[in-house]
Structure 1
């Protein structure tokens, strides 16, 4: 069931999945009884059977296993979450690292666009892995590479 004020773009939604109000789902797969709460953004992701994404959460380029859930106001990027894991509200997982060995915290893209200078730095985004039967409390921050 998809509420009529939600937006679904190029996604595969099971007949028993539920997408609540004002959610945005793009390039994603929602399996049997997967639930996306109000005001969520889901892109390039897979939600397995009986999984749940809480209100106002962002789930980007990620995977959530069977029976797992994320509470409200979570931000999850580049993360694989196993089965039956519980992530509380206001968690952040899979965020990028900031380079601390440079003279400036501005990105290489900014230097290139602004001054046409290539600093030659490379950045990589490491995936974050959260296993099966894991419980993560509210406000936790889990960086990529874990």
Structure 2
């Protein structure tokens, strides 16, 4: 049986690097602690930020672990030509310590094969066994954002 080696086994970002999610903390003190399993995201927004960072570092295990069981794919395919370059949270609704569901609307900027772009999504989150998980998202037009 051939072994697949196209995905790194774990994140490759040093703990003292700036966190890709855009918050002021280092990766290790911010999203890295969620990726490692040291902590779980206490809000839907922090889960969204940590999932964005997981796409940046290509952490398939974390993405799958934080995906709702009813919508979770079998695997995550990372496009080698895709480079995520920034995250902007546009709106949050619910998703706090006191809620069972929440939504986060965001714009994620990227370059694909050297061409810049932006993805706008309104993501739905829910608690599953006490932890926030990503349920699904609706993609929107991001032409109204500053690229």
**TM-score (structure 2 length as normaliser):** 0.27
**Greater RCO, CA 8 A, separation 6+:** 2
> Rg: which structure is higher?
1
- In terms of fraction of residues, the more helix-rich structure is 2
